[in-house]
Amino acid sequence: MAVLVVIEHVDGEPTEPSLQALTFARGYAVDGAPGEPVHALAVGLAPRGLGELGVGTVHLAEHDAFGSYAPAAVARSVVETIQRLAPSVVVAAGSELGNEVMAHVAAMLDLPLAANCISASGDEVTRIRWGGSLLEEATVHSDVVLLTVQPHAVAIEKAPVGEPAVERFTPDLLPADLAVRVTDRVEAAADGVSLADAKIVVSAGRGAGSAEGFGIIEELAALLGGAVGCSRAVTMSGWRPHTDQVGQTGTKIAPEIYIASGISGATQHMAGCKGAKKILAINTDPDAPIFASADYGVIGDLREVVPAISAEIRRVKGA
């Protein structure tokens, strides 16, 4: 039985979460026999380098409409390939677009979909809830298991099988498949280090006390060349814009170090900073849950500790 993987790509370059999904799919034990070449599906262009990752065949959907993203049109291509190939499992990245396309596929076929899985075997999956703070073991009752893979749950591993065969097809799109598509683009003015890509993030929660209280956070972030973050409580109080919010419903960060001050460590927040290599927590409460997720801790009021760190950095740099 075949395994089909939906590949997201940017101008032919597969996205990292797609390659992770491919690695995940390859290890998928189908009838107890993992390791067979997998089938990939892409729209527009054949993604590069898939033979290195164990892909035997690329099903390439070509259509004039693929110039701009239309989720249902991509989903229709997946549905046609499922009907032609009759795979036992269809895997995509648990990215924003991957989850969207697979939900369309699931709705078109009225099949169950398990989103953001971290492992799977047969029809049994383990998927994340609460942004990763809780796991769910579930059974997918379907002849075709549809699932998406939580980004960064598996590392990309190569498994060269030579140049894959490319099978081109033109999906039979319905007018409704093109009713929702990107029709325009608004570019944002780039300002400073983006939170998602920052190597250092300095953030504060309600403990900052006010919008003005973030002055010392901005100062430390600037000294370190990092970005400013905040908790949901801060955004909801209107002290910082939502673009600064780290968390399950904010930005997911992956810095070398995350300096979290005056943040208790609610699951909502911690879901956004799981990718941080190190976490330094500053909090007045030694029992704050964040100390159970942090590498380093300072017990104290951020309004005293943060300026002291800035002063020490200036002293060291000046020396």
Q: Which of residues 238-297 bind another protein (CB under 8 A)?
A: 238, 242-243, 245, 248-250, 256-257, 264-268, 278-281, 286, 288-297
CB of 182 to another protein, least distance (A): 4
Which residues, 58 to 77, sit near another protein by CB under 8 A? 69, 71
What's the rounded Cα separation, in Å, for the pair 77 and 83?
10
What's the rounded Cα separation, in Å, for the pair 145 and 298?
47
The tokens of 108 are what?
């078109």
The tokens of 153 are what?
């749950």
What's the rounded Cα separation, in Å, for the pair 76 and 80?
6
Binding mask 199-238 for another protein (x = CB under 8 A): xx-----------------------x-------x--xx-x
Task: Answer yes or no: are the C-beta atoms of 172 and 77 closer than 8 Å.
Answer: no
Of the two residues 123 and 167, which places its CB atom closer to another protein in the complex? 123
CB of 86 to another protein, least distance (A): 19
Of the two residues 98 and 171, which places its CB atom closer to another protein in the complex? 98
CB of 48 to another protein, least distance (A): 19
Q: Residue 280 carries which DSSP code?
A: E
Binding mask 89-128 for another protein (x = CB under 8 A): -------x--xx-xxx-xxx-xxxxxxx-------x-x-x
The tokens of 26 are what?
């390859």
Of the two residues 51 and 272, which places its CB atom closer to another protein in the complex? 272
Q: How big is the CA angle at 302 (ends 301 and 308), to the nearest 5 degrees?
A: 105
CB of 295 to another protein, least distance (A): 6
Please identify which residue in 139, 160, 210, 218 interacts with another protein, judged by CB under 8 A.
139
Please identify which residue in 33, 155, 186, 319 interacts with another protein, judged by CB under 8 A.
186
Binding mask 16-35 for another protein (x = CB under 8 A): --------------------
Q: Does 159 bind another protein (CB under 8 A)?
A: no
Task: Answer yes or no: are the C-beta atoms of 61 and 46 closer than 8 Å.
Answer: no
CB of 36 to another protein, least distance (A): 26
Sole residue written with tokens 């956070």 = 217
Of the two residues 162 and 241, which places its CB atom closer to another protein in the complex? 241
Contacts of 228 (CB under 8 A, 6+ apart): 195, 201, 202, 203, 214, 217, 218, 221, 240, 244
CB of 30 to another protein, least distance (A): 20
Size of the site for another protein (CB under 8 A): 98
Contacts of 140 (CB under 8 A, 6+ apart): 112, 114, 123, 124, 125, 146, 147
Residue 163 neighbours by CB distance under 10 Å: 12
Of the two residues 53 and 106, which places its CB atom closer to another protein in the complex? 106
